[in-house]
């Protein structure tokens, strides 16, 4: 079985040609083959996903009128007829991000249009940085739009820590401009929009945990939708064992014993896996709600260890009842985490408290 295709490989000759064809139609005739040829240059294969998107935008720009307003009018017309995958049409948003930040009156309506093809969550961020007050009002306006894709942009583009996105340090320090938008969207009929709200709150919780816990306590209305939003928004705080987050979801101090914590084999090889087994036994008189997780402390070059929490299970455990868990722990190399030889450890945490640990070694 071959390797899975990379995301960047979905931006291929066919999709680039579709973008060129749409722009040519809107512009009244361009040399589509020349556009495609310049996009698929000698460096194309080595470009990463976002580099490919930017390269499409920059290449297309060279074929359009020098005046940004005229060029953007063509791009907006092309967006109405383009027939390409969402990764390729991301280039429409990138066009605005690269060339239009100085002209928000023209650019923001275009992003509202383009986000219906591919999310403009990345392209909107330079505007937030440049025009914070204007964009706070714009995001609130978009939060009230009839299209759920535009409403999602209001939340997703406003995230303080959007992965792959331009940093917004002002919002990390003070997220208050975001809160009216999230309040507007918290009961949105679209699950995608509500999930974006939860992602935004999860971002905020990394810098302002008490604010998020208090806000969700006020928002709680007992509906399944709000319960799901709350759990997803608190996921980072729950892994860290934040008392307020745990209490909000009904997890009190755990009255349990954790025994028989074993990692096998005791010496794991890089690229393979080890297995963690342990038993949780209730010592309470009544049934208790338990969130049982485990955290691996990976060896790193600094010697400080890098702790990663993994979800185990959530269960109601009656008086004297036991719960036996068995989980595989991968030692495969990842782009976000390098496994190196040396001593490792794993903690078992119940309702946020570390109650037992075990050690194992990793070898080449």
Asked whether residue 133 is assigned to any structural domain, the reply reads no
Q: Retrieve residue 276's tokens.
A: 């963690």
- Work out the average pLDDT over 237-256: 93
Range of the domain at 86: 1-123
Could you say which of 123, 140, 162 is where a domain stops? 123
Q: Is the pLDDT of residue 207 over 90?
A: yes
The closest of 71, 107, 92 to 18, measured between CA atoms, is 92
Q: Measured in whole angstroms, how far is the alpha carbon of residue 263 from the centre of its chain?
A: 31
Q: Is the pLDDT of residue 257 over 50?
A: yes
Could you say which of 92, 108, 123 is where a domain stops? 123
pLDDT for the residue 4: 62
**What pLDDT digit, counting tens, does each position of 14-73 carry?**
999 999 999 999 998 788 899 999 999 999 999 999 999 999 999 999 999 999 999 999
Produce one character per residue of 195-230: b if its CB has 16 or more CB atoms within 10 Å, e if not: bbbbbbbbbbbeebbeebbebbeebeeeeeebeebb
Identify whether the C-beta of residue 270 lies closer than 8 Å to the C-beta of residue 339.
yes
Any idea what the CATH number is for the domain that residue 345 is in? 2.60.40.10
Q: Retrieve residue 73's tokens.
A: 């009018």
Separation CA 86–CA 96 (nearest Å): 16
Beta bridge partners of 298: 306
pLDDT for the residue 3: 57
As for how many domains the chain has, the answer is: 2
Asked whether residue 164 is assigned to any structural domain, the reply reads no
Asked whether residue 19 is assigned to any structural domain, the reply reads yes
Asked whether residue 109 is assigned to any structural domain, the reply reads yes
Asked whether residue 235 is assigned to any structural domain, the reply reads no
Asked whether residue 197 is assigned to any structural domain, the reply reads no
Could you say which of 123, 149, 177 is where a domain stops? 123
Asked whether residue 248 is assigned to any structural domain, the reply reads no
Phi, psi dihedral angles at 191 (to 5 degrees): -65, -35
**What pLDDT digit, counting tens, does each position of 63-104 carry?**
999 999 999 999 999 999 998 777 788 999 999 999 999 999
């Amino acid at each position: 079985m071959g390797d899975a295709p990379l995301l960047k490989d979905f931006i291929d000759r066919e999709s680039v040609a579709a973008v060129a064809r749409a722009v040519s139609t809107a512009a009244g005739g361009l040399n589509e083959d020349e556009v495609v040829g310049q996009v698929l240059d000698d460096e194309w294969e080595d470009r990463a996903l976002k580099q490919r998107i930017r390269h499409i935008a920059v290449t297309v720009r060279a074929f359009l009128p020098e005046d940004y307003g005229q060029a953007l009018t063509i791009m907006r017309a092309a967006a109405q007829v383009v027939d390409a995958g969402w990764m390729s049409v991301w280039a429409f948003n990138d066009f605005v991000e690269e060339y239009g930040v100085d002209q928000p009156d023209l650019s923001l309506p275009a992003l509202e249009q383009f986000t219906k093809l591919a999310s403009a969550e990345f392209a909107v961020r330079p505007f937030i940085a440049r025009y914070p007050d204007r964009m706070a009002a714009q995001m609130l306006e978009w939060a009230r739009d009839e299209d759920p894709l535009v409403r999602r942009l209001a939340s997703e583009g406003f995230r303080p820590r959007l992965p792959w996105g331009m940093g917004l340090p002002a919002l990390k320090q003070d997220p208050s401009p975001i809160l009216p938008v999230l309040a507007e969207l918290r009961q949105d009929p679209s699950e995608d929009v509500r999930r974006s709200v939860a992602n935004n709150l999860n971002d905020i919780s990394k810098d302002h945990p008490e604010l998020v816990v208090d806000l969700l306590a006020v928002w709680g209305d007992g509906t399944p939708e709000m319960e799901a939003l709350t759990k997803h928004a608190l996921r980072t705080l729950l892994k860290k064992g934040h008392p307020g987050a745990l209490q909000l979801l009904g997890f009190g101090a755990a009255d349990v014993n954790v025994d028989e914590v074993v990692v096998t084999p005791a010496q794991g090889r890089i690229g393979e896996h080890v297995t963690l087994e342990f038993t949780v036994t209730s010592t309470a008189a009544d049934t208790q709600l338990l969130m049982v997780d485990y955290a691996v402390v990976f060896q790193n070059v600094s010697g400080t260890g890098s702790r990663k929490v993994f979800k185990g299970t959530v269960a109601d455990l009656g008086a004297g009842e036991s719960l036996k868990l068995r989980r595989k722990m991968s030692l495969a190399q990842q782009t976000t985490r390098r496994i190196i030889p040396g001593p490792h450890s794993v903690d078992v945490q119940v309702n946020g408290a570390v109650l037992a640990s075990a050690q194992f070694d990793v070898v080449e």
